[in-house]
Structure 1
Amino acid sequence: MNSPGNEPDPRFTLANERTFLTWLSTSLALSAGGVAMAAVSEDVFVPWMRTVLALTLVCLAALSAAMAYPRWRRVQRALRSATPLPPPAIAPLLGYGVATVAVLAMILILLGR
């Protein structure tokens, strides 16, 4: 990345890189969760709800992966120009999305007993 500004402390650059990799790890975990949800036995959840939960997880995974690099770039630019770091715009969507899937799965598990 050839942005104008000062070279930031390597520790901050490496921390930014670790955060980027964490967003990708989160994406992989969400993808795995979506695939696992799609593979759940039909007697656990009704098929349409299983599909909705699986698609929600996979969509959140795609969003996390797609936003990881732009986030890294914005943070790196802020570090170079010594400006405030941008907020992680995707974090609320991922947090609420995963919480929604978890609550729906919990309700479905309880109703299935």
Structure 2
Amino acid sequence: MSRPDERRFPGSVFGVGSEPDARFSLANERTFLAWIRTALALVAGGVALETLGLDLQPGLRLAASIVLIVAGTVLPLIAWAGWGHVERALRSGSPLPSTIVGVVLAVVVSVVGVLVLLGVLLR
């Protein structure tokens, strides 16, 4: 008979170590879901920026929209990987890994801000 952890997806996460305190796993899941909401907001912002046709320089508006949509598309993949790394660390009793999600998101928002600012100034 297989262990209960072997039937859980993904096995590469749940097959490691022992079951941690449920509060920590649930907090990790809430963090993952927060990144998913952020990704949805990025996609929605990119679509809205282009769809509303604001009075911005069109090329810069399109570039900002594309950056937002691409970031919103890639962020869930980064968040999934981060969730897995943290869950494996919790299960093995290892120190929690660092994450690059915050830095990536800060760069994306800064780039979009500069593009929109230039779009306003150069219209």
TM-score between the two structures when normalised by the length of structure 2 = 0.81
Residue 99 of structure 1, aligned match among 89, 97, 110: 110
How many Å apart are 1:93 and its aligned residue?
Answer: 1.3
CA distance in 1, matches of 2:74, 2:82: 12
CA distance in 2, matches of 1:55, 1:67: 18
How many Å apart are 1:60 and its aligned residue?
Answer: 0.6
Q: Which residue of 2 aligns with 1:27?
A: 39
Render the CA deviation track for 1:60-88: whole Å, top value 9, x for unaligned. 10111121211111100000111111111
Say whether 1:17 aligns with 2:29.
yes
Moved over 4 A (4+): none
Residue 96 of structure 2, aligned match among 85, 90, 94: 85
1:40–1:50 contact (8 Å) kept in structure 2: no
Give matches, 1:42-81, under 5 Å.
44-81=55-92
Residue 8 of structure 1, aligned match among 16, 20, 40: 20
Number of aligned residue pairs: give it.
111
Q: Which amino acid aligns with 2:79?
A: A
Q: Which amino acid aligns with 1:76?
A: E
Q: Which amino acid aligns with 2:99?
A: P
TM-score between the two structures when normalised by the length of structure 1 = 0.88
Q: Which runs of 5+ in 1 are unaligned?
A: none
Computing the radius of gyration over CA atoms, which structure comes out larger, 1 or 2? 2
**What CA RMSD, in Å, does the superposition of the two structures yield over aligned residues?**
1.6
1:45–1:109 contact (8 Å) kept in structure 2: yes
Q: Which amino acid aligns with 1:45?
A: L
CA distance in 2, matches of 1:61, 1:41: 20
CA distance in 2, matches of 1:50, 1:37: 7
Residue 41 of structure 1, aligned match among 53, 67, 82: 53
How many Å apart are 1:110 and its aligned residue?
Answer: 4.5
